A and B are shown apart, each in its own frame.
Chain A
Amino acid sequence: MLFKLTGGAVVILCCYLWGFYMSKLGAFRMQDLEQLKKAITIFNAEITYSATPLFEVFNEISNRTNGVVAMAFEAAAEGLLSRKGKTAEEIWNKSVIDVQTNAYFNEEDMEYLFSFGRTLGFADKEMQVQNAILLLDYIQNAQITLREKRKVDERLYKTLGLLGGIMVCIVLF
């Protein structure tokens, strides 16, 4: 009996932790989006006011941001500096894909990130800035939607985890 009770408690705890983790996914994505927003704001300022070369802009961004966003910009800066014959878009896409496994961006976020890379390096200042503004607008809208969703999701997943665990126990008993 003691064995069954311990097993049940473990099942409930695991299910609850799963629910807790799922409820936090939105928060993790929010953190990544927040860092990306900061990065793109720095990007806009550097391009608009000082016409800094792209690799220096990316280095500056990686120094002033955290997590996967900093990693992506750092890798892209290194790629740009090495000038191995690839286009800026190819270098950017590779950097983004490399950090994707550690990031909480969803598919739509990734699409916008790839789209940001399309004008990198080649377009004039106005086009670079306009493209960055497009990404910023998307991030802001995504954050609003995510905030609303998180309120529901956090409670839902925590409850689902706990109740799921209890249900498994009842079925197994």
Chain B
Amino acid sequence: MSVKDEIVSSFGGKIGKTAEGIDERTFEEAEEIRIRAGRPSVIKLRDKIKYITSTGQLVVDDKKAFYPEIKDISSTLEILSGYSLYAFSEEVKKGFITICGGHRIGIAGRTITENENVVDIRHINSLNIRISHEIKGCADTLLPYVVNNRSVMNTIIISPPGCGKTTLLRDLIRLISNKALNVSVVDERSEICGSFRGEYRNDCGKNTDILDGCPKTIGMKMLLRSMAPDCIAVDEIGEDRDIDAIEEILNCGVAVICTVHGKTIKDVLNRTQLNRLTEIKAFDRYIFLHNKGKTGRIAEVLDGNLKVLWRDE
């Protein structure tokens, strides 16, 4: 199933028809599609942003764009959840839904809160469709720096959103796993492996165990006890409890590969929670990505002492 088929089959109504008009190659290049009620529909390609017309044509003039109504967004949500939005209530509380193919749909609307916790989002009026791409081979350069004599280095991948952290992590997992090392993945948002109803769309290697839809903190500890991994991979860490769990795993001698939002090493060092890990030199490798051009393109690889090991010239 192509990316286009996955997106189009999940959508309905006018938005589905609009998506149907977009050609397959555009989907391969697309990073995000933004649908907002009463505002022009936007597609973000690798290095440009364009508006989408109601027939799926890409234009630069926002006046020609497709302006969806709130009811179009409601019916799209209904269909992409397989008419079962209630089954996604936990995801909705976190602000996203993952659809077939591991594509993440970010949602925004009126939040319902209880004791400062979001319990629901209603009147959803914005969708951000983040298109998941599997780029096999994008971590080839990185592998020798991460795996040394069958030992996996503690690695952190750093970049701003949309640069391909998850794409790179996925390929790295595949490569490590195919070296007959046991990799355990906590795929909280089903983005890494693209799980949908128990099937995995993305190739995550021959020796990978996946805990799908599980909160990172719980999942990492569960996998540590149950799967005897050589390394544990997680996406987008940042909260205190994530750091606590990583510390516990590192103390048990299991390697961790994770990703975090940030642009420079300063961003990472300035974050108090992460600082705890960098101070004890928990990470052996810091990987930075380019924020322009091809998704998942590595900019530089630093060692635990922040010495540059490799740089993309």
A binding-site residues for B, Cβ under 8 Å: 47, 51-55, 80, 83-88, 91, 120-125, 127-128
Contacts and interface: CB of A to CB of B under 8 A. Distances in A.
Contacts of B10: 83
Nearest first, the 9 closest Cβ-Cβ pairs linking A and B are A121-B83, A125-B86, A85-B12, A88-B83, A53-B84, A51-B87, A54-B83, A54-B84, A53-B82
Nearest to A128: B86
A122 B87 contact: no
Contacts of B17: 85
A47 to B, nearest CB: 6
A124 B9 contact: no
A52 B78 contact: no
A143 B285 CA distance: 70
B74 interface: yes
Contact of A88 (B16, B78, B89, B92): B78
A83 B9 contact: yes
Contact of B87 (A53, A88, A91): A53
A125 B83 contact: no
Nearest to B75: A87
A42 to B, nearest CB: 15
Interface in B78-98: 78-79, 81-87, 89, 92
A122 B85 contact: yes
B85 A55 contact: no
A124 B86 contact: yes
Q: By CB atoms of chain A within 10 A, which of B75, B81, B120 has the most?
A: B75
A85 B85 contact: no
Contacts of B79: 83, 85
Nearest to B16: A85
A55 B87 CA distance: 12
Contacts of A54: 82-84, 87
Given A54-B83, A85-B16, A88-B83, A125 B89 contact: yes
Interface string B54-83: 000000000000000000001101110111
B13 interface: yes
A87 B87 contact: no
Contact of B81 (A52, A86, A121): A121
16 contacts: A51-B84, A54-B83, A80-B82, A83-B79, A84-B12, A85-B13, A85-B17, A86-B12, A87-B75, A87-B78, A120-B83, A122-B77, A122-B78, A122-B85, A124-B120, A127-B86
Contact of A80 (B77, B83, B85, B86): B83
Given A54-B84, A55-B82, A88-B83, A122 B74 contact: yes
Interface string B1-42: 000000001101100110000000000000000000000000
Given A80-B83, A85-B79, 13 more contacts: A53-B87, A83-B10, A83-B12, A85-B12, A85-B16, A85-B75, A87-B75, A120-B83, A121-B81, A123-B85, A124-B89, A125-B89, A127-B86
Contact of A124 (B13, B78, B85): B85
A7 to B, nearest CB: 58
B83 A55 contact: yes
Contacts of A51: 84, 86-87, 89
A54 B83 CA distance: 6
A22 B10 CA distance: 48
A27 to B, nearest CB: 34
Contact of A121 (B16, B85, B89, B120): B85
Contacts of B12: 83-86
B203 to A, nearest CB: 26
Contacts of A128: 86
- Residue from B77, B78, B86, B87 having most chain A Cβ neighbours under 10 A: B86
B191 to A, nearest CB: 20
Nearest to A90: B75
A121 to B, nearest CB: 3
A123 B78 CA distance: 9
